[in-house]
Structure 1
């Protein structure tokens, strides 16, 4: 398939190769901002514990609203992606996971895998997938492999390896060890953005090529995940199927003015309880956790210069 150059403003449609993915409502939910790590590239407000863990009653209230609005009324599938901070540190996380499972929600945890193997044994039957981030500054490689290995043969395990340009070669070596030990896992070599904004760190041309090539597996994926690829269509009808990282690396993530399904295929709950359509916050605040919310029913026009979050990239957009 031909390589599409500088095509962001020529795309007429970014959609899902699998129509079932379009029915997914991925709820990106930050339960708090305490974390067991304090990575140098991570903004303090994502790990310093300045926000209290969200109250279980407020969480359960939103569970009921999600079930009624998206499942009962819109025939969609709710997929919770619980993050932090480090979400496994929430004092009631085990009960919250069991309650979500009882509602029929699919559940992912975005975690650094630092909790004990015994803890993961308590919760893994509730999980449909995990997204484990390997932070080389703090992670114990052997422990990380043990945690991922106990799940990789029955649910989807995706591993993000954060690739700081100053420690690129050593982290790449660790990533290759992860690939060898966990052949059924998918692995992304994740480029870092300054202060988690739109600007990438200064990678060399060679490092960018490594990031683009990634570490693909020759094993068929196990389990399920809400979505991982998007199909880009130009005015002439040419298409290309891309991973979300590729949109970022090739500067193909600029969709201001496009009609976007953010809020229909996504929801964002911040650690302070604010609720938005997506990580991008386009459309403004919908309300707060614990309130009765009016949840979206229609697409919205994008007002952002760039779509910098992988979760937001994985949403249908049309010009």
Structure 2
């Protein structure tokens, strides 16, 4: 039985910034509220204002976090969508935030990108020149010409020494193709993660999309799992890997990158110290995109983009007055860990504070 999880590597604060719903794909497993071809683009002036809040917020939090390596990036700002590269001012905004991050006195903030890789060679060159890292998703149900272009972009960016990772979206109907893609990426020494479809509760096929026992055997073998599948299972029944490929420590001894248990209702959690999510479409800010946990044991936004001054003021006051709250995972039927499950957490309050002390300089800041 799992009662605590610690994060052993890549302990930076990750900002996922959804620039809008516009996308050049229409994946069958992506929910309608996550992509479209008609949503308005966020205005560049508003993006610039929000960028200053993000950097100030992150700089404030990381000043309280431990760092064993002072040269290590403690902040990563990751642009998502929709498809972020379709925004007409995308590169202008990237250039702006690239300069703005230099003004802050805290640790250097890295820029990363989550994309489907469906863009021109010119865009690929710009990404190599302006970003520190990219996650590219391979969607097997795309057109052959689209998949060919994505793989060409992946190989081109890798050849330039650019750091990237490929999320291979394992569609059950294209399972063998996905295995082949993984094999080829491995030969090229390109990082990849086999991603099961239907991991998130708002996926269109979270209940319908299932993997056969034979397909599960491949997943089990890849992740070193010992469970023998007996029936078709949904992704949430199988478990999931850390989407950041981070190593977690379970119960103080076992190390893994894959959790078969992803429901932690009632657990003490530090997700707010490791994640922040900005949603330009709804103009809302969350501790985390998928779990949406708040300090009052409910799920939802912590405020609107128009309320960034208040959000920042509350954070600084809590830290200064040593009244920083601790998140308890909401006791809701659908509450479960997706991306972000790697964050330190425990079902026991004492054990949680012990784990958290590995990451926070001064534990007296907490009201717990």
Q: TM-score range by the shorter chain?
A: 0.7 to 0.9
In structure 1, how many angstroms separate the alpha carbons of the residues matched to 2:139 and 2:194? 11
In structure 2, the residue matched to 1:274 is 284
1:289–1:51 CA distance, 2 compared to 1 (3 A): farther
Structure 1 residues 102-181: aligned runs within 5 Å: 102=99, 103=101, 104-138=108-142, 140-152=146-158, 154-180=161-187
1:129–1:203 CA distance, 2 compared to 1 (3 A): same
2:219 to 211, 226, 231: 211
- After superposition, what is the alpha-carbon deviation per residue over 1:17-39, rounded to whole angstroms, capped at 9, x for unaligned? 13xx33x2111111111111111
Q: What are structure 2's unaligned runs of at least 5 residues?
A: 66-73, 102-107, 225-242, 295-299, 316-323, 348-368
Asked whether the equivalents of residues 232 and 242 of structure 1 are also in contact (C-alpha less than 8 Å), the reply is yes
1:210–1:228 CA distance, 2 compared to 1 (3 A): same
In structure 1, how many angstroms separate the alpha carbons of the residues matched to 2:171 and 2:244? 26
- After superposition, what is the alpha-carbon deviation per residue over 1:101-145, rounded to whole angstroms, capped at 9, x for unaligned? 221421111111110111111232221111100011215343222
In structure 2, the residue matched to 1:309 is 338
2:245 is paired with a residue whose SS is: coil
1:57–1:316 CA distance, 2 compared to 1 (3 A): farther
In structure 1, how many angstroms separate the alpha carbons of the residues matched to 2:265 and 2:153? 40
Q: CA deviation at 1:199?
A: 4.9
Q: What are structure 1's unaligned runs of at least 5 residues?
A: 1-6, 217-225
- After superposition, what is the alpha-carbon deviation per residue over 1:26-65, rounded to whole angstroms, capped at 9, x for unaligned? 1111111111111112222222135322222222222212
Between Structure 1 and Structure 2, whose CA radius of gyration is higher? 2
In structure 2, how many angstroms separate the alpha carbons of the residues matched to 1:151 and 1:47? 26
In structure 1, the residue matched to 2:350 is none
Q: CA deviation at 1:84?
A: 0.7
1:285 is paired with a residue whose SS is: coil
Q: CA deviation at 1:72?
A: 4.6
Q: CA deviation at 1:290?
A: 3.9
Asked whether the equivalents of residues 14 and 230 of structure 1 are also in contact (C-alpha less than 8 Å), the reply is no
1:291 is paired with a residue whose SS is: helix
1:263 aligns to 2:267 (yes or no): no
Asked whether the equivalents of residues 132 and 158 of structure 1 are also in contact (C-alpha less than 8 Å), the reply is yes
In structure 1, the residue matched to 2:254 is 240
2:13 is paired with a residue whose SS is: strand
In structure 1, how many angstroms separate the alpha carbons of the residues matched to 2:114 and 2:61? 28
Q: CA deviation at 1:78?
A: 2.4
In structure 2, how many angstroms separate the alpha carbons of the residues matched to 1:117 and 1:192? 29
Asked whether the equivalents of residues 133 and 163 of structure 2 are also in contact (C-alpha less than 8 Å), the reply is yes
Q: Bigger shift: 45-54 or 119-128?
A: 45-54
1:149 is paired with a residue whose SS is: helix
TM-score by length of 2: 0.71
1:174–1:69 CA distance, 2 compared to 1 (3 A): closer
Q: CA deviation at 1:233?
A: 3.0
In structure 1, the residue matched to 2:301 is 285
In structure 1, how many angstroms separate the alpha carbons of the residues matched to 2:177 and 2:292? 36
Q: CA deviation at 1:200?
A: 7.6
1:62 aligns to 2:50 (yes or no): yes
In structure 2, how many angstroms separate the alpha carbons of the residues matched to 1:44 and 1:159? 23
1:14–1:73 CA distance, 2 compared to 1 (3 A): closer
In structure 2, the residue matched to 1:222 is none
Q: CA deviation at 1:187?
A: 1.2
1:160 is paired with a residue whose SS is: strand
Asked whether the equivalents of residues 59 and 289 of structure 1 are also in contact (C-alpha less than 8 Å), the reply is no
What CA RMSD, in Å, does the superposition of the two structures yield over aligned residues?
2.6
1:255–1:135 CA distance, 2 compared to 1 (3 A): same
Q: CA deviation at 1:314?
A: 2.5
Asked whether the equivalents of residues 266 and 329 of structure 2 are also in contact (C-alpha less than 8 Å), the reply is yes
Structure 1 residues 44-83: aligned runs within 5 Å: 44-72=32-60, 74-75=62-63, 77-83=74-80
